[in-house]
Amino acid sequence: MGSGHDAVAGELARRLTARGHRVDRTDVLALLPAGIGPLLRSGYRTVIRRLPVLYTGIYAAFFRPGPGPRPGSAPLAALAEHRLLALVERWRPDVVVPVFHLAAQLTGGLRADGALTVPSAVVVTDFAVHRQWLHPGNDLYLCLTAEGADTVRRAVQRPAVATGPVVAGRFSAPAPGADGWRARFAAHAPGKPPVALAAGAWGAGTRLAATARLLASAGYLPVALCGRNERLRRELSRSPEVWAVGWEPDLAGVLAASRAVVDNAAGQTALEALAAGVPVVGYRPIPGHGREGVRHMAALGVSEHARDAWDLVRVLDTLTAPGEARERRIAAGRRLFTGDAAAALAEVAEAGRVSETARGAGH
């Protein structure tokens, strides 16, 4: 719904293209009948920003596992079947790769019915693998962690492997713009360590201004990443103690220049920070997948989950200071990046191509 799934799709496309594959992309919401996709996106954004309690209920009903019949997104996904099959017929891919849970329901249903004749390999982008990712029709699941892969195998009895996060290489490489950002931060707030406050592409979160004030009062320079939420950026920019940025092209440089990231969603920005070697602290997570993801990250030992304002300051004081605690947390985050989802997808594509060639020879 936001930009995290797009970032994953873009990086997978880049890696696969570099391997010599042709990659075609489509937005699953664009495959729905006219008007439904934009309505879903705008409705989700409104609920996340303004009605988080409502989303808590939606997540509990549709996403968390539970006994007995539960509502799901399969009927919605079915509305996109005709258009996806038309694209498959035109593009003739060796594998279809969902990177969003609604797309996973779509391909799983079509594979189970036999309508989709090429493999579907789902790239799961969440730490907490909720049940809308899961469909036994899909051929393979590529997960962030071994724990996530185990969840998939137990739930749908399908192959699942841990390939780690899909993050653009500019985040793990030395960021050319980092020194410039460090100089700007130091000139703006001498002696105050910069701490990035991430709010996703939509600038969504609970009491972000209060968190920024807390960081400033604790001796930090809050660098608020407001995404495309210009209203939030203008609001936070009124405080001289806060450095507020909008949709920043050099996010890799900003993260590399920060001593830590305060995150509320366990999404792509958190993963980019881990790749950059910047400690992540979950605080006041958005409801549903955000809260579950922050908890899972902390349980894995790749981040901290600050329960209150005092805890946040305590954790930041520890992780922003040079020393063993900081280095240990950075190393734990980087250990997630052990595999390559693109390499796994290339193997599936090659297997599909060989199988198709064999079937053709048989005729």
43 versus 96: which is more confidently predicted?
96
pLDDT (mean) for 37-48: 88
Q: pLDDT grade, residue 87 (50/70/90)? A: very high
Q: Residue 252's domain is classified under what CATH number?
A: 3.40.50.2000
Structural domains counted in the chain = 2
Is pTM beyond 0.85? Reply is: yes
User: What is the distance between the alpha carbons of residues 302 and 295, in angstroms, rounded to a whole number?
Assistant: 11
Is 52 a residue whose pLDDT tops 90?
no
pLDDT (mean) for 318-347: 96
pLDDT (mean) for 321-337: 97
Q: Are residues 123 and 202 in the same domain?
A: no
pLDDT (mean) for 11-25: 97
User: What is the share, in percent, of the chain residues with pLDDT greater than 70?
Assistant: 96
Residue 62's domain spans which residues?
4-167+340-362
Query: What pLDDT is attached to residue 27?
Result: 96
pLDDT (mean) for 65-92: 89
- Is 101:143 a contact under the CB 8 Å cutoff? no
pLDDT digits (tens, 9 = 90+) for 131-141: 999 999 999 99
Query: What pLDDT is attached to residue 50?
Result: 80
User: What is the distance between the alpha carbons of residues 303 and 296, in angstroms, rounded to a whole number?
Assistant: 9
What tokens were used for 67?
């006994």
Q: Are residues 105 and 23 in the same domain?
A: yes
Query: What pLDDT is attached to residue 131?
Result: 92
Q: Are residues 150 and 243 in the same domain?
A: no
Query: What pLDDT is attached to residue 3?
Result: 85
Query: What pLDDT is attached to residue 123?
Result: 98
List of E strands, the chain: 121-123, 140-143, 160-162, 194-198, 221-225, 243-245, 260-263, 280-283, 304-306
Q: Are residues 31 and 153 in the same domain?
A: yes
Task: Annotate 187-230 with DSSP letters as a single string.
Answer: HHSTTPPEEEEE-TTTT--SSHHHHHHHHHHTT-EEEEE-TT-H
- Is 197:209 a contact under the CB 8 Å cutoff? no
pLDDT (mean) for 170-193: 96
Q: Are residues 285 and 210 in the same domain?
A: yes
Q: Are residues 300 and 193 in the same domain?
A: yes
Q: Are residues 8 and 132 in the same domain?
A: yes
Q: Are residues 297 and 356 in the same domain?
A: no
Output DSSP code: residue 283. Answer: E
* Torsion (CA) 148, 150, 156, 159 in degrees, nearest 10: 100
- Is 202:46 a contact under the CB 8 Å cutoff? no
Q: pLDDT grade, residue 275 (50/70/90)? A: very high
Q: Are residues 12 and 32 in the same domain?
A: yes
pLDDT (mean) for 311-321: 98
User: What is the distance between the alpha carbons of residues 89 and 101, in angstroms, rounded to a whole number?
Assistant: 22
pLDDT (mean) for 331-342: 95
pLDDT digits (tens, 9 = 90+) for 153-175: 999 999 999 999 999 999 999 99
Q: Are residues 185 and 207 in the same domain?
A: yes
Query: What pLDDT is attached to residue 361?
Result: 47
Q: Are residues 157 and 199 in the same domain?
A: no
pLDDT digits (tens, 9 = 90+) for 228-269: 999 999 999 999 999 999 999 999 999 999 999 999 999 999
Query: What pLDDT is attached to residue 54?
Result: 85
- Is 303:131 a contact under the CB 8 Å cutoff? no
pLDDT digits (tens, 9 = 90+) for 203-233: 888 899 999 999 999 999 999 999 999 999 9
Q: Are residues 309 and 348 in the same domain?
A: no
Which residue matches tokens 């970032």?
7
Task: Annotate 73-104 with DSSP letters as a single string.
Answer: SHHHHHTTHHHHHHHHHHH--S-B---SHHHH
Is 358 a residue whose pLDDT tops 50?
no
What tokens were used for 173?
């490489």
User: What is the distance between the alpha carbons of residues 75 and 223, in angstroms, rounded to a whole number?
Assistant: 42
pLDDT (mean) for 101-115: 97
Q: pLDDT grade, residue 354 (50/70/90)? A: low
Query: What pLDDT is attached to residue 363?
Result: 46
Residues whose CB is less than 8 angstroms from the CB of residue 360 and which lie 6 or more positions away in sequence, other chains included: none
Q: pLDDT grade, residue 294 (50/70/90)? A: very high
